[in-house]
Amino acid sequence: NAGVTQTPKFRVLKTGQSMTLLCAQDMNHEYMYWYRQDPGMGLRLIHYSVGEGTTAKGEVPDGYNVSRLKKQNFLLGLESAAPSQTSVYFCASSPSGFTRTDTQYFGPGTRLTVL
Amino acid sequence: GENVEQHPSTLSVQEGDSAVIKCTYSDSASNYFPWYKQELGKGPQLIIDIRSNVGEKKDQRIAVTLNKTAKHFSLHITETQPEDSAVYFCAAKSTYATPLVFGKGTRLSVIA
């Protein structure tokens, strides 16, 4: 099993450009999450999904959109990138919340720079 | 909603000494408390977790304690080694349908 994978690993954008970050998991997990990590700020939740076709807002959703068309994939979109979105983005997944298994498994991260 | 505070933000210890990282949470309904380790350039990885029906859990050199009354939990690392150097995050969650809420992290440096 590859676990949680993220594409791309690095990206540089100009202000106003758009891009999509792809997260894929092969563990048949129901829940998937997108976080951003900034120095001194820890991990902040952007959006999450509790199942295929569902999405919900997290702590810092503004400027981002997500889609979960397939159970194994969770896409994070930036429609018009801003320098404030320069960050490291992590995807995570976890089994169904209705079991007593809450462990979240993280991907390796995507380092995004917006100039 | 839940709020998790983590202290200290940085911690330096001599190799072989113990390290303690503390977290407090605000939501008395929280019942799951994991600790994650993040090495440089990698994603966070679960190292130990505890549920609210136990007060302490150990795994070799790592232990976690939970005080539900005071709403705080701690990570204890004994006999620290250079490979323990990393950023450690605590987290908390309540119902099964809610995501984890993370502390801001502690950068641990083990000096050989």
Other Cβ atoms closer than 10 A to B84: 18
Substitution target from B9, B49, B102 for chain A, most A beta carbons within 10 A:
B102
Q: Residue A106: beta bridge partners?
A: A92
pLDDT in tens, B21-63: 999 999 998 989 999 999 999 999 999 999 877 789 999 999 9
Least confident of A39-48, A93-102, A103-112, B11-20: A93-102
How crowded is residue A73: how many other Cβ atoms within 10 Å of its Cβ? Answer: 15
Q: How far is B43 from chain A (nearest CA, A)?
A: 5
Contact predicate B61/B16, CB 8 Å:
no
Q: Which residues of B, range 51-110, sit inside 8 Å of A by Cβ?
A: 89, 93, 95-105
What span, in angstroms and rounded, lies between the C-alpha atoms of B50 and A84? 35
Q: Per DSSP, which regions of B52-104 are E strands?
A: 56-59, 62-67, 72-77, 86-92, 101-102
Identity of the residue in A40, A92, A98 whose CB atom sits nearest the CB atom of B96: A98
**Helix (H, G, I), strand (E, B), or coil: what is residue B28?**
coil
Note the pLDDT tens digit of each residue in A23-48.
Answer: 999 999 999 999 999 988 889 999 99
Closest alpha carbon within chain B to A104? B46
Which residue did the predictor score with more confidence, A98 or B71? Answer: B71
